Structure 1
Amino acid sequence: MYLAGRTPPAVPWDARWIRWPDFRLPTDPGAARRILHEAWQRCATERVEVACGGGRGRTGTALACLAILDGVPPGEAVAYVREHYSHRAVETPWQRRFVAAFR
């Protein structure tokens, strides 16, 4: 799963792209939600990669959403990702709000 403002380079494996400009939110939240749900389902049996340009804001936001799908309460997801992934994950207030509203 690639979180980028522009189409990422082609890769030889199955990949999904969420149009997600740096420091912002996905341009299509519904598509992002569907792709995140798919990634969460696939990670039960496959390795799933989550990547953006810097690995903190967009990746941290996506990881917090995946944590919610896996049972972490929405109000605790950002803290969970900051503790277990990066203390700088989820960089902006709107990214935190996106996580809090994610279902």
Structure 2
Amino acid sequence: MGDPSEELYFTWLIPNKLAACKGPRNIDDLKFLKAAGVDCLIRLADIDETLVSPKDVADACLEDYHEPVPDYCPPSQAQLDRLILYIDKKINEGKRVAVSCRAGVGRTGTALACYLVYKGLDWESALAEVRRNRPSSVKTPQQENAVKRYAQRLNGR
């Protein structure tokens, strides 16, 4: 078994506040996330991709937020609104949040970029920052467009 941080592609986007990773596969992955300092786990994997149950997440002493999104698709704008508000609320409570999907790049990267937009970056800078931290993030034109649309809505355009 290799390094869990590499196997989970775990990285902090905002140190000790907001992280990203692949979807946890088992209780050991969940224990690694807890040991890394994560308090809340957002799971964007669709139900048929999910390898851990809500009970597994709770047993690892992590708060579970499951917002299923089909693979290679972006979260809807309504989902992004919910996700961003949840992330911001938890960070403001002093909790550390990890966002995951199957590979930890497409759906996860889309949500991370939108959070950076919410915190004040323009959409292109947000995408660049996520991709600098997590190469190959935001996999499809539809996911990239979702970040752009989120920024336009946030800025009232």
Name the TM-score, length of structure 2 as normaliser: 0.59
Q: Is the Cα–Cα contact under 8 Å of residues 57 and 91 in structure 1 kept in the other structure? A: yes
AA aligned opposite 2:143: Q
Q: Distance in 1 between matches of 2:109 and 2:83?
A: 15
Question: Which of the pair has more CA radius of gyration?
Answer: 2
Q: 1:54 maps to what in 2?
A: 103
Larger strand fraction of residues: 2
Superposed, 1:69-88 pairs within 5 Å as 69-83=118-132, 85-88=133-136
- Sequence identity, in percent? 31
Q: How far off its partner does 1:57 sit?
A: 0.7
Q: 1:5 maps to what in 2?
A: 46
AA aligned opposite 2:46: G
Once the two structures are overlaid, the 10-residue window that deviates more, 57-66 or 2-11, is 2-11
Q: 1:96 maps to what in 2?
A: 144
Q: How far off its partner does 1:55 sit?
A: 0.8
SS in 2 for 1:58: helix
**Unaligned ranges ≥5, structure 2:** 1-41
Give the number of equivalent residue pairs.
Answer: 101
Q: How far off its partner does 1:31 sit?
A: 3.3
**Unaligned ranges ≥5, structure 1:** none
Q: Is the Cα–Cα contact under 8 Å of residues 45 and 102 in structure 2 kept in the other structure? A: yes
Q: Distance in 1 between matches of 2:96 and 2:110?
A: 19
Q: Distance in 1 between matches of 2:134 and 2:83?
A: 22
Across the aligned residues of Structure 1 and Structure 2, the Cα RMSD in angstroms comes to: 1.6
Q: Distance in 1 between matches of 2:140 and 2:72?
A: 7
Q: Is the Cα–Cα contact under 8 Å of residues 83 and 111 in structure 2 kept in the other structure? A: no
